Amino acid sequence: MSDETKVTQEYGGSQIQVLEGLEAVRKRPGMYIGSTSSSGLHHLVYEIVDNSIDEALAGYCKHITVTINPGNSITVTDDGRGIPVDIQPQTGKPALEVVFTVLHAGGKFGGGGYKVSGGLHGVGASVVNALSEWLRVRVHKNGLIHEMKFARGAITQEMKVIGKTEKTGTEVTFQPDPEMFDTLVYDYDILHERMREEAFLNAGLSITITDDRDDEKQITETMCYEGGIREFATWCNRNKTPIHNDVVYMSGNKGDASAEIAIQYNDGYNEFMLSFANDVRTPEGGMHETGFKTALTRVLNNYGVKNGIIKGEDKVSGEDCREGITAIISVKLTEAQFEGQTKAKLGNAYIRTLVDQIVNDQLATYFEEHPQTAKIILEKAMMANRAREAARKARENARRKTGLESGGMPEKLKDCNEKDPSLCELYIVEGDSAAGSAIGGRDSRFQAILAMWGKMLNVEKARQDKVYGNDKLNPLILALGGGIGEDFDIEKLRYHKIVIMSDADVDGAHIRTLLLTFFFRYMRPLIENGFVYSAVPPLYKLSRGKQVKVAYSDEQRDMISAEMRGDNPNIKIDIQRYKGLGEMNKDELWETTMDPERRTLRRITLDDARRADEIFTILMGEQVEPRKDWIETNAKYAINIDI
């Protein structure tokens, strides 16, 4: 960290300001961490890590460790200054106690403790404490080790000195509360991905993540990237083919705000953009993305006109300019304004101007100095422009073919009676057989069925004109009603619950991945707004006489089987493996998979879709080596293979 980023004021108890109390967190945890599902569970880790990252941003922290302990407790350590342990004037209590027990207490409100901060809202530590069965914090500071213990937000051990130390920093260990969360099992891959992002975004910061849950096989990795987001862009394109070798890097600052951007184009047709504000990912974008997009489009058009590549009125649109781009945008600013505690969208208007100016000046200079690269990128954008025009014609042809002018809907769609989109569900079903059972078993008041058939288009290597003209995807596009790509309008969407209902086998997983990739690439707001779900059909039917039950996993099958046998282990239980949805009659499908009172649906998050998209790029793209490596690594996990 540079000396320029360091804060001149002392970081002590006087910088900790108290706004209000804590009990509401346990009553409405979703307001603070987004949900009580797996995403909320992982968000607890992010909140504590964000505090350590704030120390790194301030120039005081060089190394952070994240450890998943046996029993799924989490330990986060850093070598920063350590949370203050002196008395906080407003409360008369130790600052350490205030930080962990009072909502809206932190060093980010007064401007003295931190210059920039990801954990702006000042709720991180106290919220994690409130939602933990127990929490222990140790602070190495002023030559002493201070310790406090809590349970569900309440103090179980007052702050005390437990030893001497020569280092500085904070160690937080917490156990998520089973009363608060639907699951308590941490996913190493999810945490690893987040920590890798943090390491990329803070050049030179070392982050170690360790999984200690398996006695026989500890997993650990230390990540440190001196190249920062340049390396991030290269890493994102690792399974793709770049069309220019250099990563274009731009940076600048104004006052306390700074921004850095890294871009590299590949030969694909899809845009991949990751944006961050104070190291917190902003999946819904915001002002920094707006500034980047505007400037990129302007620079490419100006260069094209100036050099005679673009003639007349043949301007390229923003969408054209971003075809095949991988872009990393990272901004650091004081008083960041996020929409919601989960910080999905950045709202500071002035950051748009800063990013716009940086890209406008530095990218134009780069193009002048690297005319060959500029020409390659511009030609790709112009080709995209021609394809977009072809897509428009294909769209019009599709409308004519399906009779949309007269309000027609796809032949394979069995619509529901309800007209309010917020109450309507669309089940996307694989094959006519399963569709027949679904149509017969559904509640036609609010449940619509769309049958998909045949091999779906690989959208990985297809432009919009090919997507619009595709006879497998076109019915889906028409049924949803919101359009596609940049023209997608969520207000026109006809269903607010879109359920992918495919078989629990390899083919079903393939179809789900294809659909998720399509939604991710061409209708991303569906996923961002939480409208996409995956149905969870049963895997087994268990019978004993007239008694019939279903199981959704091998473990549940064994448990139900034991229950049905009771005290007699010799009783025969008929166990039928459902090979597909088409094997179920309409009543079975309704009772197990479609009845809102009994069904299980998995909401698809942006992270789920992004991971599916990455895997699909590996498996369906043109790079052989990544596909070979992935298959060799994951072959041992393969199940349900038809031999």
Query: Catalytic residue positions?
Result: 430, 503, 505, 507
Please enumerate in sequence order all residues whose Cβ is within 8 A of that of 1, keeping only pairs 6 or more positions apart, or say none.
56, 57, 58, 59, 60, 61, 62, 204, 205
Backbone torsions φ then ψ of 75, nearest 5 degrees:
-120, 125
Parallel/antiparallel/unpaired status of strands 206-211 and 63-68: parallel
Q: How far is CA 598 from CA 401, 429, 538, 587, in A?
A: 40, 19, 12, 13
CA distance 135 to 406: 63
Q: Do 71 and 214 contact (CB within 8 A), yes or no?
A: no
| Neighbour-count burial for 401-428, b at 16+ CB within 10 Å, e otherwise | ebebeeeebbebbbbbebeebeebbbbb
CA distance 104 to 98: 10
Retrieve residue 69's tokens: 């302990």
Q: How many CB atoms lie within 10 A of CB 20?
A: 9
Burial (CB count <10 Å: 0-12, 13-18, 19+), residue 388: buried
With contact defined as beta carbons under 8 Å apart, do 206 and 62 qualify?
Answer: yes
Q: In Å, how far are 63, 198, 635 from 79, measured between CA atoms?
A: 6, 16, 40
Distance CA 222, CA 220 (A): 7
Cα–Cα distance measured from residue 587 to residue 229, given in angstroms and rounded to the nearest whole number: 53
Paired with 190 in beta bridges are: none
> What is the distance between the alpha carbons of residues 20 and 59, in angstroms, rounded to a whole number?
29
Burial 459-491 (b: 16+ CB within 10 A, else e): bbebbbbbbbbbeebbbbbbbbebbbbeebebe
Within a 13 Å sphere around the CA of 637, how many CA atoms are in the beta-carbon half? 5
Q: How many CB atoms are located within 10 Å of the residue 159 CB?
A: 19
- What is the spatial distance between Cα 14 and Cα 21, in angstroms, rounded to a whole number? 19
CB 594 within 8 A of CB 442: yes
Q: Using CB atoms within 10 Å of the CB of residue 208, give its burial: 0 to 12 exposed, 13 to 18 middle, 19+ buried.
A: middle
Please give the helix or strand (H or E) that residue 565 lies within, else none. helix 554-565
C-alpha to C-alpha distance for 640 and 145, rounded to whole angstroms: 53
Instruction: Tell me which DSSP letter residue 594 carries.
Output: I
DSSP letters, 355-387, are HHHHHHHHHHHHHHH-HHHHHHHHHHHHHHHHH
Rounded Cα gap, residues 245 and 249, in angstroms = 12
Give dist(CA 207, CA 194) in Å, integer.
Answer: 11
Query: Do the beta carbons of residue 584 and residue 437 sit within 8 Å?
Result: yes
